[in-house]
Amino acid sequence: MRVYNTLTRSKEEFVPRRADAVAMYVCGPTVYNHIHIGNARTFLSFDVIRRYLEWRGFDVSFVRNITDVDDKIINRAREEQVTAPEIAAKYTAAFHEAMERLGVKAPTYEPYATQTIDEMIEMIERLIEKGNAYESGGDVYFAVRSFDGYGKLSGRDVDDMRSGARIEVGDLKRDPLDFALWKSAKPGEPFWTSPWGDGRPGWHLECSVMSTGHLGETFDIHGGGVDLVFPHHENEIAQAEADTGAPFARYWLHGGMLQINSEKMSKSLGNFMLLKDVLGTFPAPIVRLFMLQTHYRSPLDYSEERLAAAVKSYERIETAVRNARAVAEGAAADGAGASASSADESSLAEALVAAPEDARARFIEAMDDDFNTAGALAVVFDQVRLVNSFLDQIGSGRGAGYSDLLKAIIDTMLDLLRVLGITFAEGEDGYPVEVVDLAAQLAGYGGGDTREAVDALLASRAAARTDKNWGLADAVRDGLAGLGFVVEDTAQGARVIYRGQS
């Protein structure tokens, strides 16, 4: 397996410290707002990396922190006229909910900054003792000059950086490059008591403490968006390595930015879409398909058209699975063509025999190459094409003899997609029971059958539209969307596609 390591600026053979285990850390969110889909992309990329490593048999310890004390949280609390801990609690819960909806697995450990203050104070004390940090007016700063390796991750030279920087009047730093490990509290801010007075930790420090605290002084993978390389990750290395004297993370993996019109999506630029809103229109498997069709390190432009294309791709897979299952179970495939010559049929059948093994091998080859999810998905779409042409060839009602072959290839496809966290509802009986309650509320439905409930809802929506009762029509559509259904208006009337709840 090869991974691109920002530290060495090259693709390297991935050799974890232990042959059967991987310890990885990913910087978590600052909980002051709902996350946008740019943040979501980074969390999704590392979710897929983790899932793949687990699928390949590694025991993965995955740590992702919650930054629950920060200027942005304090400012937001002022705006909403509540306390900072209330803001942090609200958006931590929202973050967890959004991650669950997107199908991102919960981390093995999820440390909170505010619950790790003692350990942070201890690290600062050790850094002061070693001469890597100094107190100044109630703040504590890391002395960048005291750490030889500073700049090695971002490829910056301390002397170059220094020539552009200057000490501001009233600055408590000795050197403009130094950064805060501890900040004294201003009136009205949350604070903790420390040997340097009341204050709170700096953001960079948190990650050094929480990662080494759970994974040890040296661990395998450190991840985050490429926007964090400097100064955040550079500072994490300086703090941790100055403290322990041991190498910190061995492989640094950085995700490319999600962009809108070639500009980074960010809260500060105001060009963001919240994950929870996007998931209201496009269910998790669609968002995942859209994002994973681009390599995690490349920039990705957000576009509704590409999300709509992902809907089509998803449906292509779904249709192939449904048709293949129907044929495997002896029923006729929808729209399957006339039977072809048996020579064509048998050569296709041969390809089908080899398909599951072949797909698995090519999927691994793609993913082993720095987690090339775009290549991995291409393998799945090749299988879809293969299944479709086979179904075309054998025509109606002649699939019984190929039942096991078709099942094997479908199972492999779904298995590989599951590694990417892309799941499919298992047919019509898999409708969620909540749809019955929804139909009772909005369509006066009195039965208990999920399929009938959906029909009743669609009938109620159609009637509401005829009456120009847009409120009810929208409520039906939104209610269905909340349960994982997408309503599509076709020439024959409305129908639902069930994409499943993530």
Residues at the interface with ligand AMP (CB under 6 A): 27, 29-30, 38-39, 41-42, 224-225, 227-228, 255, 257-258, 264-266
Helix (H) or strand (E) holding 479: helix 470-482
Q: Which does 227 bind (CB under 5 to 8 A by kind): ligand AMP, Zn ion, none?
A: ligand AMP
Task: Write down the H helix ranges in 71-154.
Answer: 71-80, 84-102, 117-129
Ramachandran sector of residue 484 (left: φ over 0; alpha: ψ -120 to 50; beta: rest): left
Is residue 364 involved in binding Zn ion (CB under 5 A)? no
**Which position has the token pair 């063509």?**
337
Least Cβ distance, residue 370 to ligand AMP (angstroms): 17
Q: At what angle do helices 84-102 and 37-55 cross, to 10 degrees?
A: 50
Least Cβ distance, residue 66 to ligand AMP (angstroms): 10
**Which position has the token pair 């060839």?**
393
11-40: contacts with Zn ion (CB under 5 A): 27
Q: Which does 207 bind (CB under 5 to 8 A by kind): ligand AMP, Zn ion, none?
A: Zn ion
Our CB check for ligand AMP shows the closer of 267 and 316 to be 267
Least Cβ distance, residue 465 to Zn ion (angstroms): 50
375-414: contacts with Zn ion (CB under 5 A): none
The whole-angstrom separation of Cα 120 and Cα 209 is: 6
Is residue 69 involved in binding Zn ion (CB under 5 A)? no
Query: How many positions of this chain bind Zn ion (CB under 5 A)?
Result: 2
The CA–CA distances, whole Å, from 160 to 7, 141, 494 equal: 19, 21, 63
Is residue 240 involved in binding Zn ion (CB under 5 A)? no
Least Cβ distance, residue 498 to ligand AMP (angstroms): 30
Strand partners, 144: none
Task: Write down the H helix ranges in 369-424.
Answer: 373-394, 403-419
Our CB check for ligand AMP shows the closer of 146 and 266 to be 266
Our CB check for ligand AMP shows the closer of 27 and 87 to be 27
Least Cβ distance, residue 30 to ligand AMP (angstroms): 4
**DSSP 8-state code for residue 108:** S
Our CB check for ligand AMP shows the closer of 199 and 224 to be 224
Identity of the residue numbered 409: I
Least Cβ distance, residue 297 to ligand AMP (angstroms): 11
Tokens, residue 33: 């707002």
Our CB check for Zn ion shows the closer of 207 and 320 to be 207
Q: Which does 464 bind (CB under 5 to 8 A by kind): ligand AMP, Zn ion, none?
A: none
Q: Which does 257 bind (CB under 5 to 8 A by kind): ligand AMP, Zn ion, none?
A: ligand AMP
The whole-angstrom separation of Cα 298 and Cα 221 is: 19
**DSSP 8-state code for residue 156:** -
Strand partners, 219: 249
Tokens, residue 57: 């048999």
Q: Which does 45 bind (CB under 5 to 8 A by kind): Zn ion, ligand AMP, none?
A: none
Our CB check for Zn ion shows the closer of 207 and 253 to be 207
Q: How far apart are the first and last CA of the chain?
A: 29
Contacts of 431 by beta carbon, 8 Å cutoff, 6+ apart: 425, 450, 451, 453, 454, 498
Tokens, residue 468: 């120009």
Least Cβ distance, residue 216 to ligand AMP (angstroms): 22
Least Cβ distance, residue 254 to ligand AMP (angstroms): 8
Tokens, residue 165: 């920087």
Our CB check for Zn ion shows the closer of 203 and 402 to be 203
Our CB check for Zn ion shows the closer of 199 and 223 to be 223
Is residue 207 involved in binding Zn ion (CB under 5 A)? yes
The DSSP bridge pattern shows strands 219-225 and 249-255 to be parallel
Least Cβ distance, residue 166 to ligand AMP (angstroms): 27
Q: Which does 264 bind (CB under 5 to 8 A by kind): ligand AMP, Zn ion, none?
A: ligand AMP
The whole-angstrom separation of Cα 86 and Cα 394 is: 62
Our CB check for ligand AMP shows the closer of 42 and 294 to be 42
Least Cβ distance, residue 172 to Zn ion (angstroms): 24
Our CB check for ligand AMP shows the closer of 26 and 481 to be 26
User: For residue 179, which phi and psi values (nearest 5 degrees)?
Assistant: -130, 160
Name the site residues for Zn ion (rule: CB under 5 A).
Answer: 27, 207
